[in-house]
Amino acid sequence: MAEELRDIEPLRSLLAHRPLAILSDIDGTIAPIVPNPEDSRVSNRARDALQSLMSEGVSVGFITGRAIEKARDIVGVLGAYYAGNHGLNIAMDGAAEAPEELRPYVAWAQQVIADTCGLNIPGVIVEDKGPVVAFHYRMAESEDDARRALESAISASPSSKNFRVQVGRKVIELRPPVAIDKGTAVETLASRIGARAVLTMGDDATDLDMFRGARELQKHGVASASVAVWSNEVQPEVLEETDYFVRGVEGVEWLLEEVLKAIRP
């Protein structure tokens, strides 16, 4: 069970390892949750801290459900690594890589969107991410009614049977049922970086795979720690699966600045 992180001391031994990588979710972690997901942006404070950490030799990566192009736009940190669509796409040196096996899912995703678009539920936003579809219902007048209507429409779409359903914070996602997730993304990024220590941060049930991936790294001699971001929407299992927690995006900003102080000579 996570304990609240009030100072940097519990992380000092981790931060002493090099190369060090910080791998983070975006929405709800380094960017505040906003009603319209298109309006999401990382704060200047977090961006400055991340950029400064990179200037000190820390590798920074973002593991998100967003498409990589959108993630880059939200974050605005030069030289960072990205794993988009829950690890289905990886970008290490510019162009994003996508497995060949995902190509059929792009067409199936388009069919699910076509099958559900007739709902026209006010406040529901459909995010087309290629092989992944996300239905955001945070802005709906009745979140419960919107969620039930979406679940019914998705279930009725023949193409939805090709996907697995992932439920997050006011969002329903359809993801290809392949052995790729935020956990495999952590392992891939850490391996390519050559990290000897990894700090992961996330706020949602969709980040549980990321935390498990970080623990898997320990079996291969890579030190790791995970930090949950507390909010009034956090699921209990998120706190159960992490080592520490901080309160809100402000807590993450504080943590990044403390890490920066700790690693500077």
The residues annotated with a catalytic role in the active site are 25
Contact between residue 217 and residue 190 where contact means Cβ atoms under 8 Å apart: yes
Contact between residue 25 and residue 208 where contact means Cβ atoms under 8 Å apart: no
Short-list 107, 77, 80, CA closest to 93:
80
Spatial distance between the Cα atoms of 259 and 57, rounded to a whole number of angstroms:
12
What is the separation, in whole angstroms, between the first and last Cα of the chain? 33
Contact between residue 45 and residue 251 where contact means Cβ atoms under 8 Å apart: no
Q: Return phi, psi of residue 167, to 5°.
A: -100, 130
Contact between residue 212 and residue 186 where contact means Cβ atoms under 8 Å apart: no
Q: Beta strands of 160-250 (E only): which ranges?
A: 164-168, 171-175, 197-202, 223-230, 244-247
